[in-house]
Amino acid sequence: MSEKKFNVAVIGCGNIATSHLKGLAAKPECVLYAVCDNANDDRLERRKNDYGAKIAVKDYKELLGDPNIDFVIITVPDNSHMEIACAFMRDGKDVLLEKPMALTLPECEEMLRVEKETGKRLMVGQVVRYNNNFVNAKKLVDEGAIGELAFVESEYAHDYSVARGYNDWRVSPEREGMIGGGCHAVDFLRWVAGDPIEVHAFSNHKYLLDWPVNDTTIAIYKFPNGVIGKVFCGIGVKRNYTMRTCLYGTKGTIVFDSRNPDIQLFQDNGEPKSYVTPTIVPSEPVSHNMTGEISDFVDAMIEGRPNPIAAIEGARTVAVCRATVESAATGETVKIVYPEV
Ligand SMILES: NC(=O)c1ccc[n+]([C@@H]2O[C@H](COP(=O)([O-])OP(=O)(O)OC[C@H]3O[C@@H](n4cnc5c(N)ncnc54)[C@H](O)[C@@H]3O)[C@@H](O)[C@H]2O)c1
């Protein structure tokens, strides 16, 4: 264990902050220094008491200039990510930011600019990269267990009717489900198959009828090396939250989801395919593994290695999601334009 202690401020004390606060408590090198939330209820005091923060403030600006803070974790609604992340980087603090990096590409680009200018760390917590099922599936692909990829698909299936956010922040015309939630599936497919080149998508609106955005999207992508892919994003679906995923390769297929243990690995053994029995690859998924994410972020700082997930990754994922929304809205196939660092 390192001797170095990191004083951490958590900005936003809502639902997902719970996983971050637990992750901090599990990391011996981290001390919860400050919590911040501007809600009109007692959540700030509760978080301070439950997790033993030294200070609690309603306005994040009160923390700017505080030399005790080593890094901040930002878990506020998506439309405030840019303002708060840039303010802390300009204040000389490293930042671990919730996904999606932002709702628009100009906001992502501004954050990349500020990261470069200030030389601070900015990592977007694309937390699927810390779920063992996704990690192990990618490892199998990289080891060649299914040959060359041909078709990749993933999904984000959730019911937002019970997840509107504090003061209904998710119920907003800017907060497309594809960007806020579909980003998980897109990020995984980018991680495993590279940056898609173009997208064609369709959306409809059948579930969340009092919401100002479509709730169901299907998108198909052209990836590099002739790989093709698909993402389904449903934010009103009547089932438990999951991300079913299939990776089809020339020598095998990997099937798993985000919550059930184990991965099915089908491999070509020369027998008729209908008789192939999958190998069960043991894997214990941890959905929302902020403990792993925080630990990796902190270890990278201790060891002086780059961020485990570069900020540009968050921006590239937003670029794909935005292009998907545009395709569904226009009915056109959209070439994906990626931000430059
Ligand atoms: N990685 C994941 O799987 C995952 C899951 C859920 C949410 N998220 C992301 O985490 C973020 C928060 O989502 P949530 O579900 O916790 O929402 P939430 O509504 O439960 O919590 C958000 C909190 O931020 C506070 N807040 C808003 N503006 C603030 C400001 N300017 N200063 C201080 N506090 C402020 C609110 O009062 C609220 O307590 C969003 O970006 C969301 O997309 C990620």
Task: Specify the pTM.
Answer: 0.97
pLDDT at residue number 4: 83
CA distances, 9 to each of 3, 34, 93, 289, 293 (Å): 20, 4, 10, 19, 16
pLDDT at residue number 84: 98
Cα four-point dihedral sign 325, 222, 143, 263: positive
6-127+289-310 CATH: 3.40.50.720
Q: Check whether 19 has a pLDDT greater than 90.
A: yes
Q: Check whether 102 has a pLDDT greater than 70.
A: yes
pLDDT at residue number 187: 98
Pocket probe for ligand 1: among 10, 15, 164, the residue whose CB has the most ligand atoms within 8 Å is 15
* pLDDT tens-digit readout, 271-287: 766 677 899 999 999 99
pLDDT at residue number 340: 81
pLDDT at residue number 109: 97
Across 92-120, average pLDDT: 98
Across 230-246, average pLDDT: 97
pLDDT at residue number 2: 67
Across 114-134, average pLDDT: 98
Nearest alpha carbon to residue 321 among 161, 181, 122, 211: 181
Min mean pLDDT across 52-61, 74-83, 273-282 is at 273-282
> Please, which pLDDT band fits residue 8 given cuts at 50, 70 and 90?
very high
Q: Which is the closest atom of ligand 1 to the Cα of 290?
A: 1
Nearest alpha carbon to residue 233 among 188, 198, 193, 203: 203
pLDDT at residue number 270: 77
129-286+319-335 CATH: 3.30.360.10
Nearest alpha carbon to residue 264 among 241, 251, 247: 247
Q: Check whether 96 has a pLDDT greater than 80.
A: yes
Q: Which is the closest atom of ligand 1 to the Cα of 39?
A: 37
Percent of the chain past pLDDT 70, that is, above it, reads: 99
Q: Check whether 269 has a pLDDT greater than 80.
A: no
Q: What rounded mean pLDDT belongs to the chain?
A: 96
Q: Check whether 321 has a pLDDT greater than 80.
A: yes
* Beta-strand relationship, 6-11 and 245-249: unpaired
Domain boundaries, the chain: 6-127+289-310, 129-286+319-335
* pLDDT tens-digit readout, 125-182: 999 999 999 999 999 999 999 999 999 999 999 999 999 999 999 999 999 999 999 9
pLDDT at residue number 272: 66
Pocket probe for ligand 1: among 16, 81, 101, the residue whose CB has the most ligand atoms within 8 Å is 16
Across 300-316, average pLDDT: 97
Ligand 1 surroundings by CB, under 6 angstroms: 11-17, 36-39, 43, 60, 75-78, 80, 98-99, 125, 127, 165-166, 169, 180, 288
